[in-house]
């Protein structure tokens, strides 16, 4: 049987997942994201509610992004360790979503269950101008939701939040990840 005949007989389920176009126009992303922020802004009363809505929207994206990246990468293995999973998010997932790895991954010095992913200029904050009535809105709450969705899907229950942190004369965004006790117990058992 020739290659063409075999390809015709294969069902859609048997075909490999196409890579498709891996980049989205920056202007299209900026427009859609700003529209999403405006949509939620009209339906909430406080900055915290808006950040919760953005995180909720990001959660669904994170769940689907993990599935997509794992299916597309050849020979990828399931991460079972905390550091391995966080490195996968910082490098692979960040590069898939934003075109570059995150700036850094750090563990909070006095707490074993808290980690930080730092980004100097998150793409989601680039094209958003915050009105004065919203104070310290951080649209990176969407990215925190994405990270939360990825971790939950990979069976790493946690609480994920976004914070703006002043460093010298600049600010950076920190995605703070606090793992549940069961994750840390599992990590200790694995040695």
CB 86 within 8 A of CB 102: no
Q: Token pair for residue 44?
A: 């909430």
Q: Could you tell me the two tokens for 149?
A: 């969705």
- CA distance linking residue 143 with residue 146, whole number of Å: 5
Greatest mean pLDDT among 6-20, 133-147, 173-187: 173-187
For 169, the token pair is 């004369």
Mean pLDDT in residue range 162-172 = 88
pLDDT digits (tens, 9 = 90+) for 6-33: 556 666 666 666 666 667 788 888 899 9
Position 7 scores a pLDDT of 58
Q: 93: which residues sit within 8 A by CB, 6+ positions away? A: 65, 66, 69, 150
Give the span between the Cα atoms of 69 and 150, in whole angstroms.
11
What's the predicted TM-score (pTM) here? Answer: 0.85
| 158-167 vs 114-119, strand pairing mode | unpaired
For the chain, the farthest-separated pair of C-alpha atoms sits apart, in whole angstroms, at 69
pLDDT above 90 as % of the chain: 55
With CA atoms as reference, report the closest residue to 134 among 50, 57, 58.
50
Q: Which of 69-73, 141-145, 146-150, 181-185 has the lowest mean pLDDT?
A: 69-73
Condensed to tens digits (0 to 9), the pLDDT of residues 149-158 reads 999 999 999 9
Q: Higher pLDDT residue, 143 or 137?
A: 143
pLDDT tens readout for residues 63-79? 999 998 888 877 778 88
Report pLDDT for 170: 86
Average pLDDT over residues 47-72: 93
């Amino acid at each position: 049987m020739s290659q063409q005949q075999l390809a015709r007989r294969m069902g859609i389920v048997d075909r490999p997942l196409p890579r498709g176009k891996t980049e989205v126009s920056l202007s299209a992303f900026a427009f859609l994201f700003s529209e999403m922020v405006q949509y939620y802004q009209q339906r909430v009363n406080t900055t915290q509610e808006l950040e919760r809505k953005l995180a909720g929207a990001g959660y669904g994206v994170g769940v689907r992004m993990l599935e997509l990246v794992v299916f597309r990468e050849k020979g990828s293995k399931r991460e079972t360790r905390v550091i391995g999973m966080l490195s996968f998010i910082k490098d692979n997932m960040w590069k898939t979503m934003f075109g570059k790895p995150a700036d850094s991954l750090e563990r909070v010095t006095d707490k074993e269950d808290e980690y930080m992913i730092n980004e100097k200029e998150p793409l989601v904050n680039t094209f958003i101008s915050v009105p004065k009535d919203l104070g310290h809105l951080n649209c990176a709450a969407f990215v925190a939701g994405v990270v939360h969705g990825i971790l939950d899907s990979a069976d790493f229950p946690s609480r994920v939040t976004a914070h703006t942190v002043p460093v010298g004369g600049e600010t950076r965004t920190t995605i703070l990840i606090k793992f549940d006790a069961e994750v840390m117990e599992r990590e200790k058992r694995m040695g």
